[in-house]
A and B are shown apart, each in its own frame.
Chain A
Amino acid sequence: EAGVAQSPRYKIIEKRQSVAFWCNPISGHATLYWYQQILGQGPKLLIQFQNNGVVDDSQLPKDRFSAERLKGVDSTLKIQPAKLEDSAVYLCASSPPGGETEAFFGQGTRLTVV
């Protein structure tokens, strides 16, 4: 089966610019996650969707980050305006319903803010 698709793979922007990332989860997966992974650190959960509803966004910097999941399928994560400290890999993952199920990850988008 097709995996989690993310685009773009790499993005370089200047601070204060805006950027958007796209994720297409595995077909039928109700749960979708966006993680931020700063170099040398573990993935930090930014937002978790169940279908098209948000179940956790407690660590999403809402003054500059936004995310949506239209029709419970694809999702976009936006940063506006970007800061230097937003440089990281943004990982999208999806999983079927059930806490025992693992998350399947895309290859990520590496963002560099200069």
Chain B
Amino acid sequence: AQSVTQLGSHVSVSEGALVLLRCNYSSSVPPYLFWYVQYPNQGLQLLLKYTSAATLVKGINGFEAEFKKSETSFHLTKPSAHMSDAAEYFCAVRGSGGYNKLIFGAGTRLAVHP
């Protein structure tokens, strides 16, 4: 079975500051990991994904995430926050093999202040 824990339901940063959103996963098999962003009244949009090719994954809008198996983590970072980054961010996990479910975390709401 797979599960995801996102630490911090709300994160607030200043414009230009580092963004760090935390995600820890649990999986009985090697996982595939995803970060999605959701703007108000919109569906979810993929930011990036880990599929075992490389542990440091770069995504859209300057975001990146590092897969750390020893820590069972997949934290999302961005060096410099922009006002347009304010949104809800979701981490998701799927186990490898078969038709395993895509399971989401509870989400982290990112606020960016001028």
Query: What is the interface of chain A, defined by CB distance below 8 A to chain B?
Result: 4, 31, 33, 35, 41-45, 48, 50, 55-56, 91, 93, 95, 99-100, 102-108, 110
Contact = CB atoms under 8 A, between A and B. Distances in A.
Given A42-B104, A42-B105, A91-B43, A50 B90 contact: no
A103 B43 contact: no
A76 to B, nearest CB: 18
Contacts of B32: 99-100
21 contacts: A4-B43, A31-B99, A35-B104, A41-B107, A42-B6, A43-B44, A43-B104, A45-B101, A48-B102, A50-B99, A93-B102, A99-B96, A99-B97, A99-B98, A102-B49, A103-B44, A103-B102, A105-B36, A107-B41, A107-B42, A110-B41
B90 A43 contact: yes
A48 B97 contact: no
Interface in B76-100: 90, 94-100
B46 interface: yes
Contacts of A103: 44, 102
Interface residues of B, number: 28
Contacts of B106: 41-42
Contacts of B41: 107, 110
B90 to A, nearest CB: 6
A106 B45 CA distance: 9
Given A43-B44, A106-B43, A107-B42, A100 B102 contact: no
Contacts of B36: 105
Interface string B10-41: 00000000000000000000001010100001
Nearest to A45: B101
B44 A91 contact: yes
B111 interface: no
Contacts of B99: 31, 48, 50, 55-56
A55 B100 CA distance: 8
B43 A107 contact: yes
B51 interface: yes
A103 B93 CA distance: 11
